[in-house]
């Protein structure tokens, strides 16, 4: 069955979830950028800008965790294709009330990397929370979203 219910590609005509068949798609360069933020206390901001948090280098650990999250996306999100990630970059910046996270993921495969970029941000954000929870148990991960995607049939899209 190739038809989908209501135009959703992950659902067949009967409404059953399915993995989209991408075998007919052309491989090509694709890129996605996602962002998010972890709101933290002034104490955490001071620690991140100063001597660090008790668990260690929170930003370095979160950066690596985000990259690992991008690579493990198909293991976490059931209908995502396992694709060859050709590049993954996670940037973290300490703002006055939050840690800002931006992830860029690239591939030359048959489907996009939006979910991989989102997963990178989410995992990096959760890692920040884990690293700072002794100082700020109220830290919040929020605003995880795609900012940009390039490549594939739909081409370029950027958040307005």
Task: Detail the residues annotated as belonging to a binding site for substrate.
Answer: 79-81, 115-116
Chain centroid to Cα 116, Å, comes to: 5
Sheet holding 85-94, edge to edge: 85-94, 98-107, 30-39, 140-150, 157-158
Is the Cα dihedral 59, 33, 82, 17 positive or negative?
positive
E-only strand ranges, the chain? 30-39, 85-94, 98-107, 140-150, 157-158
Kindly name the residue from 12, 96, 130, 136 that is annotated as catalytic.
130
**The pair of three-digit structure tokens given for residue 44, joined into one six-digit string:** 């955490």
The one-character DSSP state at 110 is S
Annotated catalytic residue 130: yes
Binding site membership: which residues?
79-81, 115-116
Catalytic residues: 130
């Amino acid at each position: 069955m190739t038809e989908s219910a209501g135009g959703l590609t992950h659902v067949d005509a009967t409404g059953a979830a399915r993995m989209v068949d991408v075998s007919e798609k052309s491989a090509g360069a694709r890129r996605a950028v996602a962002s998010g933020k972890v709101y933290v206390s002034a104490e955490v901001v001071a620690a991140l800008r100063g001597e660090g948090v008790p668990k260690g280098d929170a930003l370095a650990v979160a950066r690596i965790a985000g990259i690992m999250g991008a690579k493990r996306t198909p293991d976490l999100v059931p209908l995502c294709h396992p694709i060859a990630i050709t590049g993954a970059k996670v940037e973290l910046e300490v703002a006055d009330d939050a840690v800002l996270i931006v992830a860029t993921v690239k591939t030359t495969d048959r489907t996009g990397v939006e979910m991989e970029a989102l997963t990178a941000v989410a995992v990096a954000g959760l890692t920040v929370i884990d690293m700072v929870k002794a100082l700020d148990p109220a830290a919040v991960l929020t605003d995880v979203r795609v900012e940009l995607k390039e490549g594939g049939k739909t081409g370029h899209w950027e958040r307005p």
